Amino acid sequence: MKIPMTINDEKTIIDASPDEKLIDVLRARHLMSVKKGCEKGKCGSCTVLLGETPVPSCLIPVGTVRECTITTLEHFLKTKAGSDIAKGFLQAGMEMCGFCNASRIFMTYSLLEKSYRPTTEELNELADSIKCTCTDRKTFINGVLYATAIRHRREERKDV
């Protein structure tokens, strides 16, 4: 079945069975930032942006994302928002295992889109939502805070 969609800003037509998992379709296109983790939608290794929302691609049949916009991590990191987060994590000294990168970065992006200045509760909730234990919680939260500051500097937004 031909399924039109936009993947990483590129309009494309996927030829796949509609019940095929989005993760398999993306990995077949060599978008390897989408990792196979638990394959149950819990670990976040397969997170992609569906529009502006992080979703687990292992639970999404490709037929349901017809005409939608999908962004994977390798493309997102080239954007300004992605670059802010990557720099923030680097500044915090975060070392990620490689499997949870998509989850951490996209969930952070989602938080920063919703909240100009994340509260302690929001940060704790974000840290709780990341199941991977490769990085300690405090370092991750610091990374998010650094990313927030870098984003504000880039957007030249002052404290309100």
Which residues of the chain form contacts with other proteins (CB under 8 A)? 30, 32, 35-39, 42-43, 45, 93, 95, 97-99, 128, 131-139
3-state secondary structure of 155: helix
CA 135 to chain centre: 17
Least Å from the CB of residue 67 to other proteins: 27
Least Å from the CB of residue 98 to other proteins: 6
- The helix-helix angle for 137-155 and 120-129 (nearest 10°) equals 120
Task: State which residue, 8 or 135, has the beta carbon closest to other proteins.
Answer: 135
Task: State which residue, 18 or 93, has the beta carbon closest to other proteins.
Answer: 93
Residues 6+ apart with CB under 8 A from 52: 110, 113
3-state secondary structure of 108: helix
Least Å from the CB of residue 47 to other proteins: 12
Task: State which residue, 116 or 139, has the beta carbon closest to other proteins.
Answer: 139
Task: State which residue, 95 or 113, has the beta carbon closest to other proteins.
Answer: 95
- Sheet strand arrangement including 53-56: 10-15, 2-7, 69-71, 47-50, 53-56
Least Å from the CB of residue 40 to other proteins: 8
Rounded to 5°, angle at Cα 40 from 34 and 42: 80
Task: State which residue, 55 or 151, has the beta carbon closest to other proteins.
Answer: 55
Q: Phi, psi at residue 156, to the nearest 5°?
A: 55, 40
> In the structure encoding, which two tokens stand for residue 131, read together?
């199941």
